[in-house]
Structure 1
């Protein structure tokens, strides 16, 4: 599903369960030696997806270790992102000669827990949510907003190596076209000589999941 949201230059792989043949490199195994089963399964399968995406790019399998702020460290010349939630894991990778950065997120299609929306939404987002929710009640727009902001951060961080808070971007959603716009409320990174003032992403709701994705 996730490949439907990204350009052809991005290699994607996803899983809806945890395959028995998914294995880790020794250095990855060391990171989760004491992890609970749930964490072990999502960690392992996400990296299994990442190595499938590497193969699609013609690259050999490689360990994916967490780096600064937990961001995955990819092989030289590769940009990428991973996500996981209950019943879904995915990775999306590209060559840095084709794509500057990519971010994906998956969430269960359900309303956010109490209190989360106020913690992640800026006033402009709180203003459009009621009308969109009333017009299209079949989508959990608060959760979609959260997912979009997660994809924004995953795209932003490799370009800047800086933190981006939920309050630092304002998202608007096209409820019919399956796209969203994220306007940065802080100075943006420079890509190909031009400053980015925001990101354009795509979203879908299918099979009990919300998926969002951005590529630059």
Structure 2
């Protein structure tokens, strides 16, 4: 049962995860692989709007995408883009990355090897991954301007597209935890997290929305122990 408080806390995390960047033309758009073909659709839309001359899709497979995207996330994204009318010359594929850091590093290397001059990147992710993707790119690709983008959806629309409200809440909670703990591990730059966002996160953890959390050796949520010190 999702309570009124649960939903309010979820909405607060959803709002925080989105960067609210103003879209502008960039050297390249990088679509981060996942289960969500909406990332490819958004990349195509930005290409058609003249926001970028080149698309890079990055991603191998994961336990959640292996069955749906057996040829790899980036390959399926490319196929989707070609179906929607993007010429093959405007799409590059990076098929090895298995996490956000590798998405950034491997895409950067691919573009360097292709001789593409990059000063700005439209970084396209799932809506609740905008801030995590941005913080990772700022750490691993600091010399370029990063503009975060995702499918323009409300929380309600995203829940309807997934069809499982509890899973969506779990994913939002897991993404917030990583923003709290990954900077100390060197994976991303630190983001300021308002107290009301941390409060919402802790309440949702206490309510059991924890399937996407990373645990320490004692089985505890690392971020909870850090925020409560």
Q: Same fold (TM over 0.5)?
A: no
**Greater strand share, 1 or 2?**
1
TM-score (norm 2): 0.29
TM-score (norm 1): 0.30
**Greater helix share, 1 or 2?**
2
